[in-house]
Chains A and B, each alone.
Chain A
Amino acid sequence: MSASLAIQAEPRVVLSARGLGRDFAGFTAVNDVDLDVEHARIHALIGPNGAGKTTVFNLLTKFLQPTRGSITLLGQDITHTRPDKVARMGLVRSFQISAVFPHLTVRENVKVALQRPAGLAVQFWLPLSALDRLDARADHLIGQLGLARWRDHRAADLSYGRKRVLEIATTLALDPEVLLLDEPMAGMGQEDVAMVAGIIRDVATERAVLMVEHNLSVVADICHHVTVLQRGEIIAAGDYAAVSADPRVRTAYMGSEA
């Protein structure tokens, strides 16, 4: 960890939250969360079930409106920006429950993501073959993530793990500045976990990644920075070694996972 920290000469914060909070009918799901996600780093958000990790994701991507606090993306305040606009600004997320377009093929799934940046999303007068020029880029991404063999299969027919990989491929198709991955490895076999970890490490060389992950060995392995959430509040933050040594983190995990 210390080696990779040294490489990072001047950290550039691309996504930050200050005093982020969200109440649901009197229940405080997330409270006073400060986060700084840096370019070319992998930032993990961990914590026991129900700690509010996905809520934080929903707040950051503006799928939920925060009750308190502010969010800044690439120097711009996005506290009151619509979610689709946030995505266009370069903050793209994946979902905890795999989010693919089930009746589209693997290739079509990726192409839907490519359509908007290519300016091919509103042409109702052109035939579908107008999208053929996205094939090469889509196939490249599909190949990169090892899905080439399933290119023409419907997404609904893929195994769970491959659906997650497809989701990452679709997300990467947008070439986002900041990538938010909600449990990208949940439900995956060991080989797939290693592969996806490798992919995430690769993509993080030129963009920021914030991921929710339960697999702590993956977190220890690839994440530069870890934030621990419990009952909607941050109880520890730092690199993995520091965080895992924190007594409060140990109690939180022992309490929930014993």
Chain B
Amino acid sequence: MAAKSETVASDHVAAHPRAGQVRLLLVAIALAGLLVAPMFLYPIFLMKLLAFALFASAFNLLLGYTGLLSFGHATFFGGAAYFTAHAVKVWGWSPEAGILLGVAGAAVLGLVMGAIAIRRQGIYFAMITLALSQMFFFFCLQAPFTHGEDGIQSVPRGHLFGLIDLNRPMNMYYFVLAVFVIGLLIIRRFVNSPFGMILKSIRENEQRAISLGYSVQRYKLGAFVMSAALAGLAGGVKALIFQFATLTDVTWQMSGEVILMTLLGGIGTLLGPIVGAGLVVTLQNYLATSDVPVTIITGVVFMVCVLLFRRGLVGEFFATKIGKKLGFRAES
């Protein structure tokens, strides 16, 4: 009766005892890199990257950690951009209040869309979110405050807490970086919380979770609203970075783009969506000035990834010996 024989030892590589310290070191290096990055790279590009990385991370909260594929996340991203832009420009709100309004607005939209869509599963869930986000797109096209095709232009960045002038690129950059880090910490806590544990159990065996008395739809709705709110955080920040809010951010293509980013990087990991967003935004940035159509290139990259790296770039890395030694684990 050897206990050892019971465990499947096959693809199990134990993490190195000091893996935790090494991981912490890697995070510190990445953070240090982000702190000095604007001295070498164009700040607007970096800020765009951070905003989309946060957006993709928020989306992954739903796809990777709850197992729900939403095809309507542009609603929360673009919707929050409109709310923030309107509050800051028309009502003269401070940037932090404007962003919070964007987050709240996205959460309300998430509550409505989630409450309707959550009763269905798989492709039906995705289709309902797509349909609702298309409805929101037409609302944004028609509503007076969004200014239709023009969007809300020349949004003032203002002064953070009335003190820090966000019109200075460096101030704005560090503000965006702070929001990004806070957003990630929220996601990390959410995933590793008592609530996150129930989400995980629902993803593992929904029937069993029901039979233990959990109303799984409420938990899914909770995750949906949280994901929408964080996507709204990214959207609100984006409106301040570019100083405008447009229809582009509420299109279905934007919903598709965030799915692409998340799958490219690897779902169910905190790092995956960040890497995926970085890759897509960088590609777009460098190809924007060339004659090569961006969508074709990103499409090819996506196909290659689906064919070669099923788990996404980060997921594949975590599955290697080095990744396992470092104690990385993707949620399957």
Contact = CB atoms under 8 A, between A and B. Distances in A.
B198 A121 contact: yes
Given A84-B216, A115-B194, A123-B193, A150 B6 contact: yes
A120 B205 contact: no
Contacts of B189: 124-125, 127
B200 A104 contact: yes
B204 interface: yes
Contacts, number: 112
B197 A87 contact: no
A130 B211 contact: no
A87 B208 CA distance: 11
A133 to B, nearest CB: 11
A230 to B, nearest CB: 27
A157 interface: yes
Interface stretch (A36-44, A91-99, A196-204): A91-99
Nearest to A97: B207
Interface string B208-236: 11111111100000100010000000000
Q: Which of B196, B205, B207, B226 has the most CB of A within 10 A?
A: B205
A84 B210 contact: yes
B267 to A, nearest CB: 15
B215 A84 contact: yes
B201 A112 contact: yes
A115 B3 CA distance: 28
A83 B200 contact: no
A227 interface: no
A18 interface: no
A124 B207 contact: no
B190 A124 contact: yes
A114 B313 CA distance: 37
11 contacts: A95-B208, A101-B205, A101-B208, A104-B201, A111-B197, A112-B198, A116-B212, A123-B193, A124-B194, A128-B194, A157-B6
Interface of A: 61, 63, 82-85, 87-88, 92-95, 99-104, 108, 111-113, 115-116, 120-128, 130-131, 149-150, 153, 156-159, 162, 170, 174
Given A92-B213, A101-B205, A103-B332, 5 more contacts: A99-B211, A101-B201, A123-B195, A124-B189, A128-B193
Q: Which 3 A-B pairs have the closest CB atoms?
A: A87-B213, A124-B195, A99-B208
